[in-house]
Chains A and B, each alone.
Chain A
Amino acid sequence: MRAVFDWLDHRTGFRDLRHHLFDEPLPPGTGWAFTLGSLLLFGLTLQVLTGTLLALFYAPTPDHAWDSVRYITNDVRGGFLLRGLHHWGASLVVVTAVLHLARVVLFGSYKAPREMNWVVGLVLLHVILAFGLTGYLLPWDQRAYWATVVTINISKLTPLAGEFVADLLRGGSDIGALTLTRWYAVHVLVLPPTLFGLTALHLYLMRRHGISGPITPRSGLSETFFPYQAARDLTVAIVVGAALAILAWQGAPALEPPADPSASGYIPRPEWYFLGLFQLLKYFPGRLEVVGAIVIPGAVMTVLCLLPWIDRARSRGLQERRWLLTGLAAGIAALCTLTVMGAMDTPAQADGEWNVREQAGLALMSDTTCTSCHRATAMSAPIDPLRVSQPRDWLVGHLQDPQMIAPGLRVAPPSNQYDHEAILAALARGRSGSIPELGLDDGAVAVLFNRNCLRCHVMGPVGGAEGPALTTIGATLTEASLVRQITTPLGVKPDGAMPAFAGKLTADEIARLASWLATRR
């Protein structure tokens, strides 16, 4: 065996290479602070691996991108984990890159003779952000689409060449198929080799000048990278990797409804690491927009890039550089504040429990009203809210008279405008999240309530204002008094405006409504 390796070493020189790579002497006192670069390398490797696996199943076309991502999440073995790892891995890479940069500034490692490695590192940071930006569009859901609309509009602010840059990014006159293929190509074909090349250069320069080591050089024996620093690097990688796996195991990142340029009520937000920039844009009205979008970020990057030449003193001591470090701390604090403000300013998307109207709609959709036609074995496919692409007026027409759409097939199911509103509400809600399981009784009561009560009474976030709100009616009225109130309201309150439901609803229906209302507290 030894002979084989000897031969191989003679032909390739791998032992010299291994010695050169692993037995690098490190300055005494190189410690945990210097593991961030390796952690970044670990994160990037993970991204390349998970990204390649995702590419096995992903189709970069508007017709299929969203479906292929859904397929990855739901059907590919381990697919949800793959998406989770790639998603959280992207955040890990951004966070680690910024921490790495902060470490370099804190330790004064950017100083001569390491200026060029500092510059290469900054370019790498931009490559990483470009990965994040291009990867974001690929799932082709609402979030992806609208984040890209904003990105491309920001690019229009580029001085002199705004429209040209926007055209180049879009690949056409609108965001569409050509944008998706373009960003996919950049994400998987242009950026990775750039990343590999620059990373190699970064490591080469790191080795050329050696690691900067602790701020005040220590005396003592120098350690080799392998196995001493390698042990620290791997410990960090394992801990962070485990945290990442736990995050990914919680479930795949949300896939929102497919991109819809005409959707109303959608609140676009970028990925969290761009939230600070997003928030900054709110403070620059009108013609000053370019200040927030380009001038400030550009100035920050220019100052960072020139840092080794701005701070030319030899000393790496914290005391001597306190102004610079204060500036950096202020910058990081500003970025964090903006990010937190951006996150707080995000209005809640519709989530939480489905309201009673949406529940009623869901119940109507699951009973024979819809399923007599829309089921696996019948004339129409089962309803998937995410795949309903018809405009609202078409849906209203279809609900009022299914024959309008499919003449001669069947009569319209019995329903009224309140039912239609409920079904539309459920379809809209079903597009923005998972569909809950409804008990049979709950569904039936929701339908009754929606049909008879909701026009005048508020229940949670929905309902009319003519009558008193019923959201917490169970706290004030008992079931028996509720039955009386619904059956003969004038007997309870002679000057009230509420009609009697004695003849409209059966005693059983009234009892079910009352017992359900009595639980609303």
Chain B
Amino acid sequence: MEQRRFFLVRMVTAAAALIGASLGVLVAAVAIPRRRTVVRRWRAAASMFDLPPSGPLVATLTERQADGWNETRKQTVVFLDKLETPDGGGDGYQALSATCTHLGCRVAWNADELHYKCPCHGGVFDRQGHVVSGPPPRGLERLSVRVNPETAELEVEL
């Protein structure tokens, strides 16, 4: 009798645990979002003649993108610049992401101080995107840029 009761307690506990685990799997399966693979491609950002003589050009690249059941216009802001001594290739052109590497706020070019500044936590970057001061852990993300010889447009890989 005692043994039977003990067995039953085990079974009931196991059955409850099974139900709990199944529900847990369901919750995890639904609540953990699917990862979308990011495909990078070249996209026209601005005409190379649009670059102002001093300071970078702010270009907003718009792309239609599925957002759940919604279709949104995903907007990416980049700074296009032509530098005398560029760090990388790209015919002397440089494209920097405007997203602060600290916590993702949108940095802005300060024409008086010749720095990119973040309005959130005070990160400062130089014209090449390197950290000058403040909390950002690394420089602004450098995007691949090229000149399309046919259209004279600067293209950025996003």
Contacts and interface: CB of A to CB of B under 8 A. Distances in A.
Interface stretch (B8-16, B62-70, B88-96, B145-153): B62-70
B38 A173 contact: yes
A262 B60 contact: yes
A177 B103 contact: no
Contacts of B36: 172-173
Given A149-B103, A172-B33, A63 B136 contact: no
Interface string A276-287: 001001111111
A263 interface: yes
Contact of B35 (A152, A173, A176, A283): A173
A457 B137 CA distance: 42
A170 interface: yes
A261 B98 CA distance: 11
Given A150-B103, A153-B103, A177-B72, A286 B137 contact: yes
Contacts of A264: 58, 77, 106, 108
B120 interface: yes
Contact of B72 (A164, A176, A181): A176
A171 interface: yes
Contacts of B22: none
Contacts of B62: 391
B75 A262 contact: yes
A154 B104 CA distance: 9
Interface in A49-72: 61-63
A327 B65 CA distance: 51
Contacts of A281: 102-103, 121, 135
Given A150-B120, A177-B68, A284-B135, A289 B102 contact: yes
Given A266-B119, A347-B119, A282 B104 contact: no
Nearest to A62: B70
A289 B31 CA distance: 28
B18 interface: no
A267 B67 contact: no
A29 interface: no
A170 B33 contact: yes
B111 interface: no
A170 B34 CA distance: 11
Contact of A285 (B58, B70, B135): B135
B32 interface: yes
Interface string A374-398: 0000000000000000010000000
B123 to A, nearest CB: 9
Nearest to A264: B108
A262 B31 CA distance: 28
Contacts of B20: none
A130 B108 CA distance: 31
B108 A176 contact: no
Nearest to A178: B68
B106 A266 contact: yes
Given A174-B74, A177-B67, A286 B136 contact: yes
Given A177-B69, A391-B60, A146 B105 contact: yes
A164, A167, A289, A347 interface centre (most CB from chain B within 10 Å): A289
- The secondary structure that dominates the B interface is loop
Nearest to B70: A177
A380 to B, nearest CB: 21
Interface in A129-180: 146, 149-150, 152-154, 164, 167-168, 170-174, 176-178
A487 B134 CA distance: 52
Interface in B27-47: 31-33, 35-36, 38
A267 B120 CA distance: 7
B122 A289 contact: no
A286 B134 CA distance: 8
A494 interface: no
Given A168-B33, A173-B38, A267-B119, A154 B68 contact: no
Interface in A212-264: 260-264
A263 B58 CA distance: 11
A181 B105 contact: no
Nearest to A389: B73
A265 interface: yes
Nearest to A169: B33
Contacts of B35: 167, 173
A261 B122 CA distance: 19
A467 interface: no
Interface in A276-304: 278, 281-287, 289, 292
Contact of B134 (A62, A149, A267, A285): A285
A181 B67 CA distance: 12
B88 to A, nearest CB: 22
Contact of A171 (B33, B103, B106, B131): B33
A292 B69 CA distance: 37
Contact of A262 (B69, B77, B105): B77
Nearest to A269: B120
B67 A149 contact: no
A150 B134 contact: no
B108 to A, nearest CB: 6
11 contacts: A149-B104, A150-B103, A168-B31, A177-B70, A177-B72, A178-B68, A181-B68, A285-B134, A286-B136, A391-B60, A391-B62
Query: Nearest 5 A-B pairs (CB), nearest first?
Result: A262-B75, A176-B67, A177-B68, A153-B103, A177-B70
